[in-house]
Structure 1
Amino acid sequence: MKTDKKILDACCGSRMMWFDKYCSEALFMDIRREELLACDGRHIKVDPDIVGDFRAMPFDDESSRLVVLDPPHLRKLGGTSWLAQKYGMLLPSWETDIRAAFDECMRVLKPEGILIFKWNEDQIKVRQILDIIPYKPLFGHPTSKHGKTIWMCFMKN
């Protein structure tokens, strides 16, 4: 599938990291489309432009200049918990899934394209992620109150 958008958010969820949740330059993809009321009363809306799986994206090779990847990062939580509803949950195959996600992001990136990856180390350390992927970040930065959320930048060779 061809896209005329410059940016692909491969796992957009409720677009929480976006300042402009309807950025005209971005194509928002997620594996789910749903609107629900969480157990604590919060409204959650996951409304991607296209429903798709970041492990097997429906896009042509070298079709995006920038890809953003913020996959689920928790594997130990209740399936109906607020966190699972809001962010999704890793499957038992998470190592294979994350590797496939990186491979797909690199496939759809144009040469010298940029991948921005966001990860939270609450349950799985960034070192574990870097050990299962063949790509090395150019740079990154921890954020959040406890420094557990890390942003990293990768460039396709």
Structure 2
Amino acid sequence: MTAKQILDPCCGSRMFWFDPRNQGVLFGDIRDEEHMLCDGRALNIKPDVQMDFRDIPFDDGSFRLVVFDPPHLRRAGHVSWLRAKYGILSDDWQEDLRRGFAECFRVLDHEGILIFKWNEVQIKVSEILALTPHEPLFGHKSGKRADTHWICFMKRVDGAKGA
């Protein structure tokens, strides 16, 4: 178990955190970069640990809570603020997200909680949920067009679909 009990392996600029410096959270991201947005605001992606969500560098059962908010865009302009803010999926996005779910569940402690956030503007949430054998407990749609889904999972031995 790490000293921190919460992992955010795709933290980006930590924009949805009430406290983006929360000492109980290990903030990770594959990116470590700074951008100036078109309106003059700075967008800083500064993880505590630079990591790939497809290969999380922690032992099995290391965290009680994982917040998984991977990139959700397949297409965005090369220098667009959307790409800078959210990142972009690779051409092999299904396998990337399948591996990401597997890694998030691997580093979760038994009966740990996974909070998954997905915006389905380009890919439907049903396509994403098909990439994990774990059954969600509940979820909530939000946003102007209800495109953003917040979904809660609990790691259990019997938590796989069809179990």
Give the TM-score, by structure 2 length.
0.93
What residue in structure 1 maps to residue 26 of structure 2?
A: 27
Render the CA deviation track for 1:129-155: whole Å, top value 9, x for unaligned: 112221111000001111000000001
What residue in structure 2 maps to residue 81 of structure 1?
A: 80
Match runs of 1:61-140 below 5 Å: 61-140=60-139
Q: By how many angstroms is 1:40 displaced?
A: 4.5
Q: By how many angstroms is 1:39 displaced?
A: 4.1
Q: Secondary structure at the match of 1:140?
A: strand
- Size of the aligned set, in residue pairs, is 156
Render the CA deviation track for 1:12-57: whole Å, top value 9, x for unaligned: 0000110000001100000011112134433110011000000001
- Provide the C-alpha distance between the structure 1 equivalents of 2:78 and 2:66, rounded to a whole number of angstroms: 28
Query: 4+ runs of 1 displaced by more than 2 Å?
Result: 38-42
* CA contact 1:39–1:81 (8 Å) conserved in 2: no
- Provide the C-alpha distance between the structure 2 equivalents of 1:86 and 1:131, rounded to a whole number of angstroms: 26
The worse-fitting range, judged by mean Cα deviation, of 36-45 and 10-19 is: 36-45
AA of the residue aligned to 1:133:
T
- Provide the C-alpha distance between the structure 2 equivalents of 1:22 and 1:3, rounded to a whole number of angstroms: 17
* CA contact 1:12–1:48 (8 Å) conserved in 2: yes
Identity of aligned residues (%): 58
AA of the residue aligned to 1:66:
L
- Provide the C-alpha distance between the structure 1 equivalents of 2:153 and 2:106, rounded to a whole number of angstroms: 13
Q: Does structure 1 residue 154 correspond to structure 2 residue 153?
A: yes
- Provide the C-alpha distance between the structure 2 equivalents of 1:79 and 1:9, rounded to a whole number of angstroms: 25
Give the TM-score, by structure 1 length.
0.96
- Provide the C-alpha distance between the structure 1 equivalents of 2:154 and 2:128, rounded to a whole number of angstroms: 17
- Provide the C-alpha distance between the structure 1 equivalents of 2:39 and 2:77, rounded to a whole number of angstroms: 14
